Structure 1
């Protein structure tokens, strides 16, 4: 057996299985269990030490046993070790345990008294591997029933929804400190009430001095008509607020004061005031803008 599974195969495979079992049964989140819990690293090292020690002991025992064998016994053992795997006693024993098959010469003992058209039935038992697999399916079904239908653990859909909710919270937290990457090419018109309310608050804080609270225009132009000095539409309005108005006069650039994503909300709020007809508006300026 050691010929087919040498030490440099046995130890890594057993170690990997032990490591996988620890990772499966210990909830460590996104980080490996041996990093999150130092005790797991200790268990892994201890398991590796035990495996190496067992191999050393087995090797020493093997050498001692070989030294006590006679020359004939040693030759017989060497011949057995050199046999193909399918002819070894280990393989034959396991195949017999899994298949429990009978030799052709023994089929007479299995014949039943059922005969039809010259065909007789054998009373063969089911192969043990099939029986074990069947029992394993029953055990799995019982565990599944208890876990998900009795204890009420999360199924895959619930786990997915929870993971998505946690991810959404993480994204929102990231946005609070992440660099703002909104620009003229990416900006889109916002229509949600929460976004427009946020834009209104920023407008009332920074823009009413020049455009009035109703956006009818004072020092700055009227923002409720369809004429624009630097172009209408979300992209042009966003760019005007971001970069400022005409050189030497007009509105200053707000990009150093207001974040681009907040400018998007202000621009969207301004466009939502189109056609609101405030009292005593300032005369139209610029050219009529038609959205393409």
Structure 2
């Protein structure tokens, strides 16, 4: 056993198992348990110390026992240690426990008095690993039956449906406040200077070619009067910028190049220019808009 799992393998493996158990059973959030809870670090160090101490004691005892062996016993031990793993006593012992197999020489004792056209049957027992797995399946089925059909806990389908419903609610809640999923129904007029300055910068970059820097109108209509072709107010102006104007002769849709939160700022800036009356402004177009 020690040949195949030396001390420098056993200790890290046991330490990792202990550490993993700590992380599994202790809810430490986004930080490792040994950082968030110093007591865990102390326990891990103590555990490591005990492991090392045990290995030292076992090694000393092993050396004492080895010194008491006779020459014949020492040779037999060396032969055993040099055997391949599949031929070692440890391997054979555990395989026998798992399979309860019999030697070929013992098959005569296991023959049943059944003979079918020369085919004979051995009275072999089921392998213990198979029996234990069968018992485990029975235990699992009982627990499953009681949990889901007696106590009425949620099965996987119900858990999935509930998770999807919660996620849908969370998405809808996010959409109510997320600026980049803004639409005509949720948009509101911005009045903060920082927002209007940002809207002005966007307007000067994208809109002056058609509406002039003072919004008096050029190719596009005058944006400073109270008449609107597609309706005034923050909702209509926002929707016109996002979706575009009239088919074939109106403004293009800007939703592919300007995100909704920025369109909201541009629309708010445009509405802040109402009544500025720039020089040589274009004649009013559309219908008079009165905000409700």
CA shift at 1:82, angstroms? 1.7
Q: What is the distance in 2 between the residues matched to 1:65 and 1:84? A: 24
Q: What is the distance in 1 between the residues matched to 2:69 and 2:48? A: 32
Q: Relative to structure 1, is the Cα distance of residues 76 and 111 closer, same or farther in structure 2, using a 3 angstrom cutoff?
A: closer
Query: Tell me, what secondary structure is at the counterpart of 1:47?
Result: helix
Query: 1:173-252 to 2 correspondence within 5 Å?
Result: 190-191=183-184, 193=185, 195-196=186-187, 199-200=188-189, 202=190, 220-222=224-226, 224-226=228-230, 233-234=241-242
CA shift at 1:126, angstroms? 0.8
CA shift at 1:137, angstroms? 2.8
- Deviating above 6 A after TM superposition, structure 1's stretches of 4 or more consecutive aligned residues are 165-172
Query: 1:94-173 to 2 correspondence within 5 Å?
Result: 94-145=94-145, 150=151, 152=153, 157=160, 160-161=163-164, 164=167
Q: Relative to structure 1, is the Cα distance of residues 112 and 59 closer, same or farther in structure 2, using a 3 angstrom cutoff?
A: same
TM-score by length of 2: 0.60
Q: What is the distance in 1 between the residues matched to 2:138 and 2:85? A: 33
Contact preservation (8 Å) 1:234, 1:267: no
**Alignment deviations for residues 22-57 of structure 1 (CA, whole Å, 9 cap, x no partner):** 222233333322233332222222221111111111
**Alignment deviations for residues 141-160 of structure 1 (CA, whole Å, 9 cap, x no partner):** 44445555638378553785
Q: Relative to structure 1, is the Cα distance of residues 102 and 33 closer, same or farther in structure 2, using a 3 angstrom cutoff?
A: same
TM-score by length of 1: 0.60
CA shift at 1:92, angstroms? 0.8
Query: Tell me, what secondary structure is at the counterpart of 1:93?
Result: helix
Query: Tell me, what secondary structure is at the counterpart of 1:16?
Result: helix
Corresponding residue of 1:70: 70
CA shift at 1:77, angstroms? 1.7
CA shift at 1:91, angstroms? 0.9
Q: What is the distance in 2 between the residues matched to 1:189 and 1:171? A: 11
CA shift at 1:98, angstroms? 0.7
Query: Tell me, what secondary structure is at the counterpart of 2:228?
Result: coil
Corresponding residue of 1:12: 12
Deviates more, 1:145-154 or 1:113-122: 145-154
CA shift at 1:2, angstroms? 0.9
**Any unmatched runs of 5+ in structure 2?**
197-221, 233-239, 246-259, 272-281, 287-292
Q: What is the distance in 2 between the residues matched to 1:71 and 1:47? A: 38
Q: What is the distance in 2 between the residues matched to 1:40 and 1:97? A: 37
CA shift at 1:9, angstroms? 0.9
Q: What is the distance in 2 between the residues matched to 1:148 and 1:137? A: 16
